[in-house]
Structure 1
Amino acid sequence: MESYFTKTGTNLNSYTVCYLLQDKENQELRISELAEFLYLSTSATSRLVVKMEAETGLVVRETCEIDNRGLYVVLTQKGRDFLTDASAVVEKLIQKAP
């Protein structure tokens, strides 16, 4: 698993973010909501999202249309593809576990 993350320039947090987003109706969450799920501070989650957006393109940040202030983290097609591939790797590891 570690080598897969290294090869793709991601980590377990990236996988978790993508997993959480794909489970939502519009595949989007506010950073504060994501922080609660990850048990991280809002600032740490924001840094993670900025890094994911800039370095891997798995997510994008979009302005909330309702108030034009809040940001949503949205899963990209690349993020969905990554999640599919990473989930297959995770499944293989689970099957190999004693």
Structure 2
Amino acid sequence: MGTETATLPQTPSPGETPWLTDAEQCAWRTHLEVNRLLMNQLEKDLQPFGLTINDYEILVNLSESTDQRMRMSDLATATLQSKSRLSHQITRMENSGLVRRESCESDRRGLYAALTESGRETMHKVAPHHVESVRRHFIDLLTPDSLAGLRTALAPVAEHLRGQRGSRA
């Protein structure tokens, strides 16, 4: 895996890589494993509904937005997908009747993705099962103090990465 590092001295010479300590490497690898396993499990739990985790994320974004629609470019940003990848996914979801494309009145080139009635019904049906899955595989395994500590620990990372999205640094 490209994210693995060797355990080397922590005080590198100028220009050398500051390798992860054993504790840092353990935390990093645990994070990677939990992320992969949790996303895999949540995806598996959505399969009986014919949805992927990406489908569900799109449905959530649309259901929570004004008029239950979003510009395609904004939806791509919100879901961390390229416009091309999102377009293919929206086409698939359109074919399933969950969403539809709508023209943008103010910009002829712009398009919206909009939640259909079937998409709303799907959300009402699937959301309780998804929340139960999140609880069973994540929330209920942690104490309230652990959850608060996790949020506190991850907030600066999330803030940093959100800032990087526009800069490509």
TM range (shorter): 0.7 to 0.9
TM-score, length-scaled by structure 1: 0.87
Paired AA for residue 75 in structure 1: L
Q: Following superposition of structure 1 onto structure 2, how do residues 27-42 of structure 1 map, counting pairs within 5 Å?
A: 27-42=68-83
Determine helix, strand or coil for the equivalent of 1:48. helix
Q: What is the aligned counterpart of 1:19 among 60, 69, 75?
A: 60
Greater C-alpha radius of gyration = 2
CA RMSD of aligned residues (A): 1.6
Listed as ranges, the gaps of 5+ residues in structure 1 are none
Unpaired segments ≥5 residues, structure 2 = 1-41, 142-169
Q: Indicate whether 1:65 and 2:115 are aligned.
A: no
Of structures 1 and 2, the one with the larger relative CO (CA 8 A, separation 6+) is 1
Q: 1:42 to 1:2 in 2, by over 3 A?
A: closer
Aligned length: 97
The alignment partner of 2:102 has SS state of strand
Q: Determine if the alignment matches structure 1 residue 85 to structure 2 residue 85.
A: no
Structure 2 counterpart of 1:8: 49
4+ aligned runs moved over 6 Å, structure 1: none
